[in-house]
Amino acid sequence: MELIFGTWHWAISGFLIGMTMLILTYFGKSFGMSSNLRTMCSMAGAGKFSDFFKMDWREQKWSLAVVLGAFVGGFIAFYFLSNGSGVNINPDTVSQLQTLGIDAPNGKLMPDAIFSIETMQSPKGFAILLLGGLLIGFGTRYAGGCTSGHAISGLSNLQLPSLVAVIGFFIGGLAMAHFILPIIFKTA
């Protein structure tokens, strides 16, 4: 059972992702999560209001299974396949976050200083989450896909735009972590 409860070696996970990509390529499909929002909006009738959503969503319904699988798989992994140890974060990262006033996650996936109900009810917290959501939504459409679509599907198909996008994702993440986050959470 430790094989199931423990962390898998990157080579096993990488092999499974590679096999999934080979199967998707064989069937002429690509992997990504952000395009599912367009599919769901099209299903709900948004095509009546915007040409962007005028599409045959039935051709993309297979990818909705990926979204459902992510939710169901996450639920099963958390509630039935977890050994209860939580998330282990490097102690140096925890101390750096504490200097910004962000609590140690203590086994949780997200710190309360950013994702608690109280934070979302504060004007600053709400503004941060709203702006972040808008930037991610805009960036995903502008880049022609999300991180999973470009990094997994695009790079495995040797697409140069995906390489450029992934490099941009890493640069943006580093800039956020080292320059912008300290400004946002600077304690007065």
Q: How far apart are CA 132 and CA 95, in angstroms?
A: 24
- Per-residue model confidence (pLDDT) at position 170: 92
* Sequence-distant (≥ 6) Cβ neighbours of residue 113 within 8 angstroms: 101, 102, 103, 119, 185
**Burial per residue of 30-48, b for 16 or more beta-carbon CB atoms within 10 angstroms, e otherwise:** bbbbbbbebbebbbeebbe
Q: How far apart are CA 158 and CA 7, in angstroms?
A: 29
Specify whether the backbone of 108 is left (phi greater than 0), alpha (psi in -120 to 50) or beta: beta
Tens of pLDDT, residues 25-51: 888 877 778 878 888 888 888 889 888
Q: How far apart are CA 19 and CA 68, in angstroms?
A: 20
Quick one: average pLDDT of 90-118?
80
DSSP bridge partners of 107: 87
Tens of pLDDT, residues 105-161: 776 777 887 888 888 898 988 898 888 888 888 888 778 888 888 888 888 888 899
- Per-residue model confidence (pLDDT) at position 163: 93
> In the predicted model, is pLDDT for residue 88 greater than 80?
no
pTM of the shown model: 0.69
Quick one: average pLDDT of 69-89?
81
